[in-house]
Amino acid sequence: MKIRPYGDTSHDGKVQLSFTLPVSSNGLGISAAKELAKKMGLVNPQVVHMEDIHEGYCFFVVYGSVPYEIETDLLKNEEIENVSLSKEDIEALIERNFNRELVFVGASTGSDAHTVGIDAIMNMKGFAGHYGLERYKGIRAYNLGSQVENEEFVRFARKVKADVLLVSQTVTQKDVHIKNLIHLVELLEAENMRKDVILIAGGARITNELAKELGYDAGFGPKKYAEDVAAYAVERLIEKNK
């Protein structure tokens, strides 16, 4: 199926962009914003909002149309295709296949100070009615919080004999999350631990494709909950134990 963005009418290609340029909010700034939008492929771009955010820097909102179509049948699905299981299903799966608790360790590592994502997955209360892993029978969950250095994360994982490592990354300026995620994989390989754990990354900018490229088993993006992560991890652990 071929699709285009929808704005005022179906398939009109209307889109909205926002960006900051090192210019002032004047006529020259408008021309610069329009020219950039044209180079990005927008047809008839219009600056609908501009605001100085600092001396010599202006924030723009631009409307325009894109002439391109996307063929959805040719696209690759980046999501993990695993069976949807409930909390009770996952607990039963653990009880049938393991004679011990499974150990999950999670953290926002590196300089990342955001904990909303990892808390939603790990903490007992969870998020939006989806209970976190601390509430799961058969799972021992450790949430180390934010700004956890990769070295500390690896040491703790070894200490508690972790089965699954969950890494949340929200801060993405200058691809710092990419560098941090790669560094963790390198540490685990240096400690000869990588093969012994299921390694999962999560965050608003994380896709399964990106995570796997960086050496992770899987990546979970927005609108994923504890049961999604747990179902994937438990099934992978069962496969490893066969």
Catalytic residues: 125
Q: Residue 99: left (phi > 0), alpha (psi -120 to 50), or beta?
A: alpha
- H/E stretch holding 129: none
DSSP code per residue over 75-126: PPP-S-------HHHHHHHHHHH-SSPEEEEEEEBTT----HHHHHHHSTT-
Residue 205 corresponds to which tokens in the numbers above? 């900018």
Distance in angstroms (rounded) separating the CA atoms of residues 128 and 130: 6
CA dist 188 and 114 (Å) reads 23
Angle at CA 33, nearest 5°, toward 29 and 39?
145
